[in-house]
Each structure stands twice: as structure tokens, then as C-alpha cells.
Structure 1
């Protein structure tokens, strides 16, 4: 049963220790593999009990992985987009929620890299290297339009944030909550990203996320009531999409990595169950389910789809890296399309892997104590982030009509 919604279920976190400084891409991947093996052990229990992963997140942060995109000139590892995507996929295979929680953290770092001042970069990069985490307060619900109603305004000589957000993945665990706000500048409204301290007076977080998947991401509500912030913590946002930047494709690359990882996790859970516990169908005439020719074929189909999704993810990462080095109309559009192609396949591959798990393993795999349904539930929940049908549209329009896709966070 879902626990009641909890306001500020835990005190705002304080970095327990200074994180490890990761040197390079190879070390980042090795640490991710070690952490994933640890995280996988209790993933089913956390999911079943909706147990928030506070201890796991502290280990995750202390590992240094949350700082791997901080540029080298600021003391970070500055890993490639391909490495970051693989790190996220590795963690997501072990626990889809833990793989998703830092997605908006890396996203905020990319917004800073693209649109922040040197002073803002220096300040926030240092905080991340010291173990502080970013959450998010981007989306709003309750309206049929996409207008944002959370406002940044002046009151009594200070800047204040007022509004309410939902789907705030990671905010509950964060030290800073990057928040999309609307501000009035002369005759026009502009959208900005305000980095709000988690401990600021007037910030309240409710753990009211009760989705059937990604259960322990803390993706609930955040309310801001007269929250005062420093002007130095406000970064341009919409302006970063008025010119070609990698913010959109970078974000989508990480979403594809989460889906791929969840699919890998489902496949990895399928194999031992079929080998050791599943019963062969009587018509197969074999002693073990793993020798059933049709089961073998289905296993091969799942493996091929996952390998194809991996290949497209790596290809997309190369396009993102090229656009980061030389952003322009063509490079950013090509990156957006490459990532959209990867997301199409990572979506279908993850859902297929979660579904085929039961088709191959049989009724015994549905027992609640096993928690094997979490892979499909996590994939189905996360793949709804934005519609694949529109990715097909933009991919087709790009190839057929040479039309560049729109620039926003969903492409």
C-alpha cells in the first residue's frame, strides 16, 4: 500500500564526505559497475516498499560520479557524452530509479555550461565537486497548456520565487533545486532557470509521487512561497534554445540511456530464471526451458533489439559530442535527430525486454516477492516522458524534407 504523502520526509541533505575525484572515463565506468552490483541487491525491496534510497544516494555521490561532467578546467573529469550515457545505463540496469535521479543534475550542469557566466560556473561546479546535488522543479500540472506559472519577481528589493511544481525528480534528495521560472522583463516574459537552495525558507517538498513505476525517484511536488534567492543563482534558459545548443539532445541522450539500462536489467534477470526455474512447454519435447527452440529465438530477438539500441545510443553520443565542440544549426539538428533515433529504439527495446521476461519465464515470474515486474513498470513509466510518435515525425521530416527539428528539451 502506498504510504501517505510526506512533507519534507527527510531533512535537507548535507554532503557526508568530500567525493572522490574521478580522473577519467575509464575510472568512471569502473566505479559505475561496482556501484551497480551493490545497488542491484536490494532494488526489488526498495521498489516494493517504496523505500527512498538515501543511503544509496550518499554512496552514489561519494563515488564522484555526480561530478564527472564538470569540465577539466574546473577540476572535474569532463567525461564524454558516451561515457556519461553508459554510466547512467549501468546504474539503471541495477535500479531504474537510481539511474533516473541524477538525470536532471547532469541536465542542470549542461545548462550552466551552455548559458552560465564564468562566475556561475565556478560557483556551482565547486559545489558539485564538494558533493552537492541538483534536483529539478521544471514541470507544472493542472493546466491544459504548457504555460509556466511559477514566477520570479521582485518584492521588497529582493528576488522571490512563487509557484508549485510536480514531477520534481531528485528534488527531495537535492541541495539545490533548479527551477523553471517566468520573469517579466519590460514588455515581455522570459523563462529562466533559478537555482533555489533546498534549505531556503518557503521551500516545501512533498513525496507524493505514486506512479506504478520509478517508485523511489522522489518525483513529487515542490512548492515555493516567497522564496528569496540571489540574482547570481539565475541562469538564462529559453534564450539558450533561441540559438543552437546541445541542451535538448544532451537531456534526451540521458533519457535514452535510462531506458536502455532498464531493458538490460530485464534481460539480465530473464536469463537465469529461464535457465534455472522456468518449465519447458510440453510441445517443445525438451528437458529444460533454455533448450526450447522458440524460447531461444525470442531470447535472441530481445538481445538483438538491445544491442541495436546500444549502438544507436553510442552513435547519438558521438553526434552530441560533435555538437558540443562546434554548436551550429546543422550539428545540433543532426545531434537531435540521432538522439531521437536512439530514443525510439531504446523505448521499444526496454518495453520489449520487460514484457518478454514474463513470456519466457512463465507464470512463476509473476510472484510478487520476486519484483520482476519492476522492469516493465519502470520502462513503461519512464518512456512516457515524451511521445515517441513525435520523434518519428521529426526524424521523417528531417530525412525527407530537410527540416530541422524544434529546439527544446524534448528533442
Structure 2
């Protein structure tokens, strides 16, 4: 792949991604999406450990990923996409995440933005941005802000003739570094109250600065750094209602959280897949002298069986949550959306513990050899530990328990 796809950072500031060189493949249906994901995962897995160890940003891999058409699979059929189910979306993300957890997470906010657009966008906004997605353009994010104890957003949207201007700073901007558009949450005054919007900002717009300052010990090449907006001009048609989308029952929250569950599920699968050949091919001393091989050790078999069972259970919950979310998208109301949120919360709870267990068992069963840096096996635990902290899993259990015991519907927001 040409160095055209590896923009060099300047003081941490990263130039925009180049425009797509050709129109991507258009995925026909769910089955093709799964088949393409498996094919890409086999390629992405080859250098995943090197990318993670050297923090080599995956520009070339993302171009291949985009060209495959997978970034357009949630575009509804009436707009030219495959309109795949949420179950398929989750499985695609899990497949890619098993090969490379960072590559599995990077498109999460892209699909999130498309779901916000589906729920709150006008017909003309959908037609425009869906076409951009099908043309291979990537949407990142600039949602979170840090440093404020009141948790209020400071990024402002102000009127500027027939458009708007944006000023503010964001962090944890996964995908923004590689994006062509950076959807960002902004607040504006409307009839005496603050209203939140999602503004789609071109990455090349004057005043946009993306800084590669993400230094987490896991998910190291997600590029989840910071973005600043300095008097950035956006068109009125690029601004979509956000808070209003949560004032009624919608599946924005469940879809977002389902993708996070899929990322953790995939990382866990990857850890288990790495454990099996490692144990078959590498000897280690055993406490019980009667056991000659790792494959004969009863405790090893017990631990592997436990990981397998937990991952299969997590997989079943993710698929169940996908089906419930699909149903809620077709008929959204207070009850169906709440059921989707609770089902996804259960999946998130189990994928968290299952992925962490899989990474931990890889260390325990592989011994010291599994920790050698040149093997890169530590990335599974580091990636799972980092990503599972995205939002507190303890509140997932709370939501599930409160729903089943007290019939209390969970709140509507992007973290449940």
C-alpha cells in the first residue's frame, strides 16, 4: 500500500485522511457481510501484534476495510445499502475484533453516527450522508469532554448566517484521526434552554485540529486522541438533532452498546484462539510429574473449558440482544426499547467478564513464555481491560436487576 495512506504526524497533529481512491464494494446482504469480515480478519490478524507493539497506525488496513464495503452495511436498503440486522453488525465487529481489537473498535462511532442519522435526520440528510458512507467516507467522533465536574458540554454551536460555527475541545475521539467526517456533540441556546445536536464536521474544514495524543496501554492504535474546533464553519444541513432522539424511545443506546459488547466478545475469541495453538506447541514444566503435556493436564482442560463456555454464553447473549434490538427498531416504544437496553446490558456484562477471563487464562496457562514481548499475546488482555472500561459494567447489572425486580425501565442514553 502506498505511503499516501500513512500521513505523518506533526507535533502530534495528524493531517486529514486522503479521499477514497475508488468507490467501495457494495455489500448485498447479511451473509456476504459475514463472509467479507472473515476474509479481512485473516489478513488483519497477520500483523496485529506488530501494529499493537509498535503503535503502527493502521492506515493501509483501514483503506482495505473501507473498500470492502463493510462500513456501509447499516445503510438502509432504500438508500442503496444492505440494511443488515444488528445481529450481523455485531458479528462483523466481533470477527474483526478477534483479529485486531483496535480495528474492530474504530468503526463503532461510524455506525453510531449512522444510527443517530437514521433516527433523527431528515430525508435529505439521510440521502446525503448515507451516500457519503457508501462512497467510502469514514465518520469518526468527537463526543466526550473532560475536565468539567458538572459533566456539561462546553462545545458551542452558534448561528452564522445560513450556517453555524463550532468552538470547543473533545477527547477520547475514537476514529476521528482516520475520519473524513467528525460527528461532534454541540450545545446551542434555543428558546432559553440548551439543546444538544450532532454536527457532522468535515475533517478538512478550517479550524479542525486532530491530535494523536491517545496513550492508553490497550487498544493502542484506535487513534482515540483529541479534537479541537476553532471557529469551524458547518452547513445547517450537517446538523442533526441529538438530545431530541432520546426524548422518545429509540434504539440509539442499545445499538451503541451492542457494538461495544461485540468488540469485547471478539477480543475474547481472539485470546482463546491464541491460547490453543500456544498450549499445543509450547511445553512448560508441570507441578504434577505424571502429566507430560499441557493437553493432558486436567486443570488446563478445566480452565480452557470454562473460557469456552463463558464465551459461548456471551456470544448467545450478544445474538439475543441483536434480535431484540432489531425488533425494537421495527416497533420502537417504551417497552421494546427498554427490553433492548436490558438485553444489551446483559450482553455487555457477560462479554466484559468473558473477555477478561480469556486474556487472563492465556497468561496463566501459557506461563512466562506467554508474556514475552515478541509474541504479542499480552495485547488481548490489555485490549479487553482497556475497552471494558468504556462505561461502568456495574451499572449494567443494576439496570438488569432493576428491570426484572421492580419493572423499572432503564434511562434512555448512549450508555445503556
- TM-score above 0.5: yes
Which whole-Å deviations, capped at 9, do the CAs of 1:337-383 have from their partners, x for residues lacking one? 00000000000000000001011111111101111111000000000
1:387 corresponding residue in structure 2:
392
Structure 1 contact 278–362 (Cα < 8 Å) conserved: no
1:34 corresponding residue in structure 2:
39
Task: Choose from 337, 343, 349 the match for 1:338.
Answer: 343
Task: Choose from 311, 314, 319 the match for 2:324.
Answer: 319
Check if 1:374 corresponds to 2:386: no
RMSD of aligned Cα (Å)? 1.3
Shift of 1:17: 1.4
Check if 1:246 corresponds to 2:251: yes
Which whole-Å deviations, capped at 9, do the CAs of 1:106-127 have from their partners, x for residues lacking one? 0000001011000000000001
How far apart, CA to CA, are the structure 2 residues paired with 1:5 and 1:267? Answer: 39
2:4 corresponding residue in structure 1:
none
How far apart, CA to CA, are the structure 2 residues paired with 1:250 and 1:177? Answer: 19
Structure 1 contact 89–259 (Cα < 8 Å) conserved: yes
How far apart, CA to CA, are the structure 2 residues paired with 1:5 and 1:260? Answer: 35
How far apart, CA to CA, are the structure 1 residues paired with 2:164 and 2:349? Answer: 41
Q: What does 1:9-408 correspond to in 2, within 5 Å?
A: 9-155=14-160, 158-283=163-288, 285-408=290-413
Aligned length: 409
SS in structure 1 of the partner of residue 22 of structure 2 = coil
TM-score (norm 1): 0.98
Structure 1 contact 333–405 (Cα < 8 Å) conserved: yes
SS in structure 2 of the partner of residue 283 of structure 1 = coil
SS in structure 2 of the partner of residue 190 of structure 1 = strand
Shift of 1:278: 3.5
How far apart, CA to CA, are the structure 2 residues paired with 1:157 and 1:72? Answer: 32
Judged with a 3 Å threshold, the aligned counterparts in structure 2 of structure 1 residues 157 and 332 are, in CA distance, closer, same or farther, namely closer
SS in structure 1 of the partner of residue 288 of structure 2 = helix
The range that moved more, 240-249 or 12-21, is 12-21
Structure 1 contact 7–204 (Cα < 8 Å) conserved: no
Shift of 1:156: 6.2
How far apart, CA to CA, are the structure 2 residues paired with 1:5 and 1:287? Answer: 55
SS in structure 1 of the partner of residue 398 of structure 2 = helix
Shift of 1:11: 3.5
Structure 1 contact 5–208 (Cα < 8 Å) conserved: no
Which whole-Å deviations, capped at 9, do the CAs of 1:383-407 have from their partners, x for residues lacking one? 0011011111111110000000000
Shift of 1:262: 0.3
Structure 2 contact 16–178 (Cα < 8 Å) conserved: no
How far apart, CA to CA, are the structure 1 residues paired with 2:310 and 2:295? Answer: 20
Structure 2 contact 162–235 (Cα < 8 Å) conserved: no
Judged with a 3 Å threshold, the aligned counterparts in structure 2 of structure 1 residues 116 and 11 are, in CA distance, closer, same or farther, namely closer
Which whole-Å deviations, capped at 9, do the CAs of 1:239-272 have from their partners, x for residues lacking one? 0000000000000000000000000000000000
How far apart, CA to CA, are the structure 2 residues paired with 1:127 and 1:80? Answer: 21
How far apart, CA to CA, are the structure 2 residues paired with 1:156 and 1:327? Answer: 37
Shift of 1:282: 3.2
